[in-house]
Amino acid sequence: MGCSTSTPSASVPAEPTPTASPWTLVWSDEFDGETLNTRNWLFDKGAGGWGNNEWQYYTDRPENVRIENGVLIIEARNEEYLAWKYTSARIKTHYLQSWTYGRIEARIKLPVGGKGIWPAFWMLGENIATARWPTCGEIDIMENIGNPTTVYGTVHGPGYAGSNAISKAFVSPVDLSADFHIYAVEWEADEIRWYVDDQRYHTVRRDQVPGEWVFDHPFFIILNLAVGGNWPGYPDETTIFPQQLQVDYIRVYQAGS
């Protein structure tokens, strides 16, 4: 009786089917122009504390806000300007771009930090002029108060604003000012989730807030770098200037079909 010398051919595994993303890109700013795109951004200018007893004067000067090599730079400086000792910048998409629900993300390199340094990537309800704060709602996608290993995700609304806001810290194993990282929220009708580099660290649901859920209408984006304030405290002799908040891009996705 003969025996076969051939061996069965091995089956080739099928290529896995990619998982469809639930999100479709609907808007972005890649900061690839020479100057800030005024179809997307307005400047908030001036001083007066901005409701938090901050110390900076916000300007639209290139010293404080500019694009370099495809990166938006917001720079806080220690300098005399119109009787104020610090300058910085704050930009917003108010009246130009706003969204209801979606994934809102930015690739950001934090300032090196120090006492009194307060960068933020956040959102306010488009109806702020009529509803006022906090009834308009506020979603803080990323805030940092001087320690570049810790960021915060927060919501403010009626009955849970200011020191009573619903907030959680993300503590990073690495210095977030050493490189760019992605900060995002995924905002749905009944839930908001916060991420750093796609690591989820905070969730707030409609049935958890001790007041009205005010996150069901259009919101606009704000980027700013504050100096001082009630929450971070104030610069001292150890605080280094200038400080830079660097943003590679901002992207907004919404649920795809």
pTM above 0.85, yes or no: yes
Domain extent for 111: 23-245
In a domain, 12, yes or no: no
- pLDDT tens-digit series, residues 34-80: 999 999 999 999 999 999 999 999 999 999 999 999 999 999 999 99
Catalytic residue among 54, 75, 105, 143: 143
Number of structural domains found in the chain = 1
Q: State the greatest distance between any 2 C-alpha atoms of the chain, in Å, as a whole number.
A: 104
Distance of CA 174 to the CA centre of its chain: 18
The answer to whether residue 165 is domain-embedded is yes
In the structure encoding, which two tokens stand for residue 132, read together?
């006022």
Asked, for residue 10, whether it belongs to a domain, the answer is: no
Confidence of residue 167 (pLDDT cuts 50, 70, 90): very high
- Give the mean model confidence (pLDDT) for residues 179-195: 98
For residue 16, tell me if it sits in a domain.
no
Q: Is residue 169 part of a domain?
A: yes
Is 114 within a domain?
yes
Residue 97 lies in a domain: yes
Q: Is 164 helix (H, G, I), strand (E, B) or coil?
A: helix
Contacts of 232 (CB under 8 A, 6+ apart): 115, 116, 117, 118, 145, 146, 226
Is 251 contained in some domain? Answer: no
Q: Does pLDDT of 1 surpass 70?
A: no
Segments in 65-195 forming alpha helices (H): 128-131
Is residue 122 classed as helix, strand or coil in its secondary structure?
A: strand
Conformation bin of residue 38: beta by default, left when phi > 0, alpha when psi is -120 to 50: alpha
Name the active-site residue from 68, 138, 188, 237: 138
Q: Is 188 a catalytic residue?
A: no
Length of the chain: 257
Residue 237, domain CATH: 2.60.120.200
Active site residue 34: no
Compute the mean pLDDT over every residue in the chain, rounded to the nearest whole number: 94
Task: Give residue 14's pLDDT band: very low, low, confident or very high (50, 70, 90).
Answer: low
